[in-house]
Amino acid sequence: MTTSPKRVTFDEDNFWVELSDGRTVGVPLAWYPRLLKASPQQLACYELSARGIHWDALDEDVSIDGILAGQGDLTRHRQAVA
């Protein structure tokens, strides 16, 4: 069974993802620098898919599997390894 996002909300320091299995998970915005620097209007323009959340204008994708595994933005990590 795939746990998918149903809704996303934001506060000053976190975003909150309501999942299809009834859980709500808080994620620090600091884990995702593009989201941390984004305006409230940019944060509000997201798309949900079965596996995650996408912000087109910010070029940011967040997977539910990554959130549940406690992973933040791995972009810089991948660049450092390459």
For residue range 44-76, what is the model confidence (pLDDT) as tens digits? 999 999 999 999 999 999 999 999 999 888 765
Domains of the chain by residue range: 5-81
CATH class of 5-81: alpha beta
- Chain-centre distance of CA 60, in angstroms? 8
Collect contacts of 15-23 with beta carbons under 8 A, ≥24 apart: 15/43, 17/53, 17/64, 17/67, 19/64
pTM, 2 dp: 0.84
13-52 pLDDT, tens digit per residue, is 999 999 999 999 999 999 999 999 999 999 999 999 999 9
